[in-house]
């Protein structure tokens, strides 16, 4: 029997606890991890669907365009695929892949089912003059209570930019648990400001 993505949210935890090698604490940890994944940004959700030729950057572009899951899902009804060609960064290859995805009834059933289990956050409008305007950030290590993708979204929503390498163009290196030592050492050599999660959140007038 083929397992669909939403089946992970229908697990029988009592049955799992009775399995060899599983105890109450292990099951509670599993349950907690799964529940944590129920909160997801629109761009990460679109990316996780595995639509051919739709990478994370394409997913970000589509999330900005649709703004909400309901708008995205409405493509299956209104069929305005040609309008997607007007989006900068989306071409015929991506549009055709999206069209193929929505033409599959199984995919539509999965979308409808996931909607019942997930909290898909609408895409927030990015601020042109946000608190992090003209600042570049990079993350290393694990953050508490927030995923790296969510942290990057917070940066971008507040006019900041994320980069993938430590160079002189980097303004802040956000250090979480078990960071990459090489990145921290390089940042220190380049006199780049290193901050922890609490300091990062203070920059956004938030608390952890």
Indicate if the pLDDT at residue 2 is higher than 50. Answer: no
Q: What is the pLDDT of residue 126?
A: 59
Express each pLDDT in 150-206 by its tens digit.
Answer: 788 788 888 898 888 899 999 999 999 999 999 999 999 999 999 999 999 999 987
pTM of the full predicted structure? 0.55
DSSP symbol at 126: P
Express each pLDDT in 123-157 by its tens digit.
Answer: 765 566 789 999 999 999 999 888 777 788 788 88
Q: What is the pLDDT of residue 3?
A: 44
Higher-pLDDT residue of 54, 119 = 54
Beta bridge partners of 39: 119
Express each pLDDT in 52-90 by its tens digit.
Answer: 999 988 998 899 889 899 999 999 888 889 889 988 889
Q: What is the pLDDT of residue 153?
A: 78
- Residue holding tokens 């940042």? 187
- Residue ranges with strand state E in 102-153: 119-121, 136-140
- Residue holding tokens 């952890």? 208
**CA atoms within 13 Å, Cβ hemisphere of 161:** 10
Determine how many CB atoms are found less than 10 A away from the CB of residue 133.
12
**Angle subtended by helix axes 105-117 and 92-102, to nearest 10:** 80
Spatial CB neighbours of 86, under 8 Å, sequence gap ≥ 6? none
List C-alpha distances in Å: 75 to 113, 154, 202, 207. Answer: 17, 27, 39, 38
- Compute CA 187 distance to the chain's CA centroid, rounded to the nearest angstrom: 26
| Listed residue (97, 95, 107) closest to 65, CA to CA | 95
Q: What is the pLDDT of residue 124?
A: 60
Higher-pLDDT residue of 65, 23 = 65
């Amino acid at each position: 029997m083929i397992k669909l993505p939403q089946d992970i949210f229908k697990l029988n935890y009592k049955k799992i606890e009775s399995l060899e090698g599983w105890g109450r604490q292990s099951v509670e940890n599993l349950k907690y991890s799964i529940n944590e994944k129920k909160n997801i940004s629109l761009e990460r959700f679109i990316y996780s669907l595995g639509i051919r030729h739709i990478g994370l950057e394409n997913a970000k572009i589509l999330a900005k365009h649709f703004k909400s899951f309901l708008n995205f899902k409405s493509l299956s009804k209104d069929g305005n695929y040609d309008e997607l060609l007007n989006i900068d960064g989306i071409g015929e290859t991506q549009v055709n892949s999206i069209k193929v995805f929505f033409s599959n009834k199984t995919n539509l059933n999965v979308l409808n089912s996931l909607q019942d289990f997930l909290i898909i956050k609408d895409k927030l409008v990015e601020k042109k003059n946000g608190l992090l305007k003209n600042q570049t950030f990079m993350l290393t290590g694990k953050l508490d209570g927030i995923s790296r993708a969510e942290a990057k979204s917070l940066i971008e929503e507040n006019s900041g930019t994320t980069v993938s390498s430590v160079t002189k163009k980097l303004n802040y290196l956000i250090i979480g648990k078990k960071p990459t030592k090489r990145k921290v050492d390089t940042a220190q050599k380049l006199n780049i400001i290193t901050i922890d999660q609490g300091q990062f959140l203070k920059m956004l007038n938030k608390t952890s």
